[in-house]
Structure 1
């Protein structure tokens, strides 16, 4: 077993390669030691069973003030009120239940219709402008942004600013104070939005939260909205962009994404295959043995969700994109009590946006060689900065 490898890499070597597993041979060590940027020793988990076990084990905490940062030398700070993803039960449970109650069957059905209209409107603009085009600003970024802004009831005039601030907050090279300022800017606007909805109730998720959880402070409600923004915008936008890139470089897979009978399985495989979220972090509250190694109380573990999704013990030939495989149980949304709250929202958007794009433009292709597509390896959420395309027909 390796004892002191270098800090987990932050740059992604290839467009579809998980950062902490690229270049490692099989059989892989499911959990191995590493050194974090602050100089402390910690762990990385890449094995599917080990990651699932840690995510389901209450002896591992998500509390942000207890853990080391695997990506930069930054101080550990407690979660802000309402930021339940960095909390443990019962606080986590109390906040999450409030937000879960807003995702009703009626709202999700209505949302599907709205995503279809938003996607078609942007595809109409693409067709009218003609080739070539950059799919990121033309389609893959604005569709999820508009959906989440409508869910939160964000006025149209602020939506472009929302996108810019989320992008700024997601840069890897941003300093901790600058990241806090970006978070503060968005949170301040959301607090104003909460106050507006207290004065004039609205039929959207944030309006529903204000009505059902009026006992919470404006800060708590704004931070709940902030979490929904994070769960429903940047990650989904980059799965959509990186997924389009993957499909354009694997054209034989495209028929599966346009087939209504195969779309659900195809989306799950894209979620398994695409490493947009580098991982999540847990800290041991007591000594725990996982995959044959002893993780001591107080030690931090980086859980590589893309690495678990490429575990050959779970998925045969995991480095291959196969939209016909049964990819259920993947870790793209995590596992356990912290499993991503926005997963159904993301699935609705992907099941609509992918087939709409490739049905409308069956002749869609990259306008540059694949190696010239600029990757978001400088960002926390992986993807592409631009996706130059051209097409015939449509």
Structure 2
């Protein structure tokens, strides 16, 4: 009988908050060596300034983990298999390879392009609120609103049939669930790649106006089929999981902070500042950003040798008193803060403009439609073991 998985220190939460031990680590030594659930030794970096330094230096801190770190469970995979799984994954490569891939995608995620998408996003949001209203309370905000809205948006952007959403959401959930074995999660990744490879083949035969079609038309000679499948898989995963969990967890945060929610209702023009504060305060990518040192480095006075894994603990960094005063307090009046919820440096989240736009539209629309929105008393289910923190369910009434 296998042992129950243990949640690593950097992913431990008390509801919305990082556990006190993480805060104590940040306020104390700042850096500590730990053993991760995969059996890897890694250095946790917890202070805001140190995390920004690591994320901003792709020369000394590499995203190519496999060069120095062998993950337990990878032994059965050939280098060719692993290379295919990594192809097109911008999170698993460094410049200049990362630069080459990102340059092809950046035009699709500009603020200007997002503005053009806004009317469609507003329609998608309104349609799902209509359906919630027709169904009547109680409703599970996750399944009725938070998950389907960004899912439909990214499906339309990529050219993925929305009828397939049940299957790709199931695969994504398994890929991100650290309570499952490495083999189970890799199998889900394989299935996701195979699915996307089929869509890439279809786009290659008849490229449409969506993002996959654009990549085939404009960069088909520069990208292999494996790279196209990798890019599509990453965007599909990141495009719905992160925003969906921000919508659910952010709504719960506002419900639990009624003064903040009332202020946002009264002054909806505060939505941009509110979104930034929620991103900082919630830090849903709580699994951290993994790096490998390419040389001996020193962080917070601690020497870390070459070839060591480093984990940037984003929830601890975003709650650093060096970033904002009274950082554990949710305060939507703070405004833009330079948080690291989307990362920093060359790997800063490509889809940040899309996520911000969806959140900026969805939160006010939800609060306006349901002035009496409230929890029913049924405890929400937190997703502690998932790479993206969030909720499995949130029952609400109005």
> 1:121/1:47 Cα in 2 relative to 1: closer, same or farther (>3 Å)?
same
SS in structure 1 at match of 2:298: strand
- The answer to whether the 8 A contact 2:110-2:353 is kept is no
Q: How far is the alpha carbon of 1:21 from its aligned partner?
A: 5.2
Q: Aligned match of 2:151 in 145, 150, 168?
A: 145
- The answer to whether the 8 A contact 1:82-1:224 is kept is yes
Structure 2 counterpart of 1:177: 183
Distance 1:136 1:20 in 2: 28
Distance 2:345 2:67 in 1: 20
Distance 2:22 2:302 in 1: 22
User: C-alpha offsets along residues 297-353 of structure 1, whole Å, 9 cap, x if unaligned?
Assistant: 111111001111001111111111100113421000000001111111100110011
Where does the alignment leave 5 or more consecutive residues of structure 1 unmatched? 1-5
- The answer to whether the 8 A contact 1:20-1:307 is kept is no
Distance 2:142 2:7 in 1: 31
Residue 126 in structure 1 maps to residue 132 in structure 2: yes
What stretches of structure 1 move > 6 A for 4+ residues in a row?
A: none
Residue 64 in structure 1 maps to residue 72 in structure 2: no
SS in structure 2 at match of 1:24: helix
Q: How far is the alpha carbon of 1:64 from its aligned partner?
A: 2.4
Residue 270 in structure 1 maps to residue 271 in structure 2: no
- The answer to whether the 8 A contact 2:272-2:360 is kept is yes
- The answer to whether the 8 A contact 1:231-1:340 is kept is no
- The answer to whether the 8 A contact 2:9-2:22 is kept is no
> 1:335/1:28 Cα in 2 relative to 1: closer, same or farther (>3 Å)?
same
Q: Identify the range of structure 1 (196-205 vs 23-32) with the bigger mean alpha-carbon deviation.
A: 23-32
Higher share in helix: 2
Residue 309 in structure 1 maps to residue 318 in structure 2: yes
Distance 1:206 1:192 in 2: 12
Structure 2 counterpart of 1:219: 226
Structure 1 counterpart of 2:3: none
Q: Aligned match of 2:252 in 208, 222, 245?
A: 245
Structure 2 counterpart of 1:325: 334
SS in structure 2 at match of 1:345: helix
User: C-alpha offsets along residues 21-48 of structure 1, whole Å, 9 cap, x if unaligned?
Assistant: 5462773332222233465543100000
Structure 1 counterpart of 2:52: 52
> 1:291/1:111 Cα in 2 relative to 1: closer, same or farther (>3 Å)?
same
SS in structure 1 at match of 2:381: coil
Structure 2 counterpart of 1:18: 18
Distance 1:26 1:105 in 2: 35
Q: Identify the range of structure 1 (10-19 vs 53-62) with the bigger mean alpha-carbon deviation.
A: 10-19
> 1:390/1:199 Cα in 2 relative to 1: closer, same or farther (>3 Å)?
same
Distance 1:47 1:23 in 2: 9
> 1:178/1:38 Cα in 2 relative to 1: closer, same or farther (>3 Å)?
closer
Aligned pair count reads 382
Considering Cα pairs closer than 8 Å and 6+ residues apart, tell me whether 1 or 2 has the greater RCO. 2
Where does the alignment leave 5 or more consecutive residues of structure 2 unmatched? 1-5, 76-81
SS in structure 2 at match of 1:173: coil
User: C-alpha offsets along residues 156-215 of structure 1, whole Å, 9 cap, x if unaligned?
Assistant: 321222222212222121211211111111211111111111222211111111111111
- The answer to whether the 8 A contact 1:16-1:275 is kept is no
Q: Aligned match of 2:117 in 111, 122, 146?
A: 111
- The answer to whether the 8 A contact 2:111-2:353 is kept is no
Distance 1:318 1:368 in 2: 28
> 1:344/1:179 Cα in 2 relative to 1: closer, same or farther (>3 Å)?
same
- The answer to whether the 8 A contact 1:62-1:88 is kept is yes
Q: How does 1:229-240 map to 2 (within 5 A)?
A: 229-240=236-247
Structure 1 counterpart of 2:87: 81
Q: How far is the alpha carbon of 1:260 from its aligned partner?
A: 3.9
